């Protein structure tokens, strides 16, 4: 008989490659009997895994019901919910940790003894707002999910302070902040290379405007290399980028690597680069995994003027913030970097690596889930 509190973690992603969800699982498997729900194989350390078949598309909804704004039937008849609901027993768990808004109604209806903690990875109602169709049809549905269901969660976290403030302003939801910090890596900065070794990791998505980095490599007056570790979310777009970079032998497209290996690969470089044009509210206020990966890899950092990232860069002296989100601005920033600057920025990352590690920044989850587990134990 397992005497540990029971915790169900739900995420409609491939858990073993979802860095944020893996962080949750690894955080709780020692002290909780963790069951997971999601795509792909069982993560290490869980007592049970309920897999979603790959052929079920997580975001599929009945379009007619969404257009008619019959949101509850649209949710209840979604293929992924119809698959999971009969496989999850209400009242079985002390706590349910629901990742992103789509899992929250399912979690609440499972009636966990202690309650539901909702972890919102994005600002749900503005995620793809560059698309008019998304704004017209999906955004109202997402707002309904937040108003109707996230408001019933016992506690909520999100990835950054600006998103948390917006959830409070628009919905009256008080959200704690747990950034996408990487686990602490016990390593030291490498010597600055010549040419300067740039690196970027992340998703190959068209609306991330990754061509800005390629154009900056063309424009910069200094010798650089650029290593790209891109997950092929949009294979056609990745192929376009590779074609676009055919005249840039200093740009290398590397195969993506598992989260646990990424920092080691990044650490062979000098400067992590991420300039993301603010097509959406979420993009403007991004504070992504890669930013913290760069710190653990002991890199200098060059980012665009995104408020969350630029605040940390300035506060800790980690690197340079470009004047805007263009290739020209990025190229100027690279031209102005001296080897001494980069050495100083790498040392600054080293100085704050433990402070800005996952081990230090996940306490919001620890306290929230712990409080619900204590309440759940009283209800047994």
Is the Cβ–Cβ distance between 373 and 5 less than 8 Å? Answer: yes
Same domain, 147 and 220: no
| 76-81 LR contacts (CB < 8 Å, sep 24+) | 80/12, 80/52, 80/56, 81/105, 81/106
Residues 181-223: tens digit of each pLDDT? 999 999 999 999 999 999 999 999 998 999 999 999 999 999 9
Say what the pLDDT of residue 83 is. 98
pLDDT tens track for 67-113: 999 999 999 999 999 999 999 999 999 999 999 999 999 999 999 99
Question: How would you list the strands of the sheet with 271-274, edge to edge?
Answer: 251-254, 224-231, 196-203, 271-274, 300-303, 319-321
pLDDT at 338 > cutoff 80: yes
- Per-residue pLDDT tens digits for 229-272: 999 989 999 999 999 999 999 999 999 988 889 999 999 999 99
Question: Does a structural domain hold residue 190?
Answer: no
Name, in order, each residue with C-beta under 8 angstroms of 364's C-beta and a sequence gap of 6 or more: 157, 176, 177, 178
| Domain harbouring 209, CATH code | 3.40.50.2000
C-alpha–C-alpha distance, residues 306 and 314, integer Å? 12
Q: What is the pLDDT of residue 378?
A: 72
In this structure, is residue 184 part of a structural domain?
no
Q: What is the arithmetic mean of pLDDT over 33-38?
A: 98
Tens digit of each residue's pLDDT (9 = 90 or more) over 3-35? 899 999 999 999 998 989 999 999 999 999 999
DSSP state string for 183-238: PP----PPPPPSSEEEEEEEE--GGG-THHHHHHHHH-SS-EEEEEEEE-SSHHHH
Same domain, 322 and 287: yes
pLDDT at 53 over 90: yes
- Of the CA atoms within 13 Å of residue 109, those in its CB half-sphere come to 16
Q: How many domains does the chain have?
A: 2
Residue 376: predicted pLDDT: 83
**Is there a domain that residue 189 lies in?**
no
Q: Do residue 345 and residue 369 come from a single domain?
A: no
Judge if 52 and 200 occupy the same domain. no
Evaluate whether residue 188 is within a structural domain. Answer: no
- For residue 189, what are its two tokens? 């900065």
Question: What pTM was computed for the model?
Answer: 0.93
Do 340 and 374 share a domain, yes or no?
no
| Percent of the chain whose predicted confidence (pLDDT) is above 70 | 100
Instruction: Give the percent of the chain with pLDDT over 90.
Output: 95
Structure tokens at 82: 């119809």
Instruction: Count Cβ neighbours within 10 Å for each residue of 149-187 and write b for 16 or more, e otherwise.
Output: bbeebbbbbbbbbbbbebbeeebebebbbbbbbbbbbee
Report the alpha-carbon distance of residue 106 to residue 98 in Å, rounded.
Answer: 9
Tokens of 88: 């999850």
Q: Bin 300: left if φ > 0, else alpha if -120 < ψ < 50, else beta.
A: beta
Residues 144 and 262 reside in one and the same domain? no
Residue 273 shares a structural domain with residue 137: no
Report the CATH number that the domain containing residue 95 is assigned in CATH.
3.40.50.11930
Residues 276 and 370 placed together within one structural domain of the fold? no
- Same-domain check for residues 309 and 366: no
Domain extent for 204? 196-352
Report how far residue 253's alpha carbon sits from residue 328's, in angstroms, rounded to the nearest whole number: 22
Residues 28 and 24: their CA atoms lie apart, in Å, by: 6
């Amino acid at each position: 008989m397992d005497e540990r509190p029971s915790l169900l973690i739900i995420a409609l992603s491939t858990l073993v490659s979802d860095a944020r969800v893996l962080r949750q699982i690894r955080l709780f498997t020692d002290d909780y009997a963790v069951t997971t729900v999601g795509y792909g194989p069982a993560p290490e350390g869980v007592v049970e895994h309920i897999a979603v078949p790959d052929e079920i598309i997580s975001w599929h909804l009945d379009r007619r019901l969404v257009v008619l704004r019959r949101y509850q039937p649209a949710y209840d008849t979604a293929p992924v919910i119809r698959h999971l609901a009969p496989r999850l027993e209400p009242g079985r768990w002390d706590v349910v940790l629901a990742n992103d808004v789509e899992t929250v109604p399912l979690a609440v209806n499972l009636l966990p003894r202690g309650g539901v903690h909702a972890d919102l990875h994005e600002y749900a109602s503005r995620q793809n707002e560059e698309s008019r169709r998304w704004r017209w049809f999906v955004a109202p549905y997402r707002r309904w999910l937040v108003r109707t269901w996230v408001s019933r969660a016992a506690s909520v976290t999100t990835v950054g302070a600006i998103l948390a403030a917006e959830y409070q302003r628009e919905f009256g939801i008080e959200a704690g902040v747990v950034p996408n910090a990487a686990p602490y890596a016990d390593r030291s900065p490498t010597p600055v290379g010549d040419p300067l070794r740039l690196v970027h990791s992340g998703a190959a998505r068209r609306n991330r405007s990754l061509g800005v980095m390629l154009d900056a490599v063309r424009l910069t007056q200094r010798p650089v290399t650029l290593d790209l570790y891109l997950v092929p979310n949009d294979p056609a777009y990745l192929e376009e980028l590779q074609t676009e970079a055919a005249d840039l032998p200093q740009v290398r497209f590397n195969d993506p690597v598992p989260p646990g290996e990424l920092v080691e690969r990044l650490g062979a470089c000098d400067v992590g680069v991420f300039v993301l044009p603010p097509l959406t509210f979420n993009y403007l206020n991004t504070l992504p995994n890669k930013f913290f990966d760069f710190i653990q890899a002991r890199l200098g950092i060059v980012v665009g003027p995104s408020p969350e990232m630029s605040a940390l860069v300035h506060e800790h002296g980690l690197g340079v913030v470009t004047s805007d989100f263009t290739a020209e601005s990025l190229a100027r920033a690279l031209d102005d970097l001296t080897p001494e600057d980069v050495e100083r920025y790498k040392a600054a990352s080293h100085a704050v690596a433990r402070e800005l590690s996952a081990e230090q920044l996940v306490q919001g989850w620890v306290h929230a889930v712990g409080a619900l587990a204590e309440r759940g134990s009283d209800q047994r």
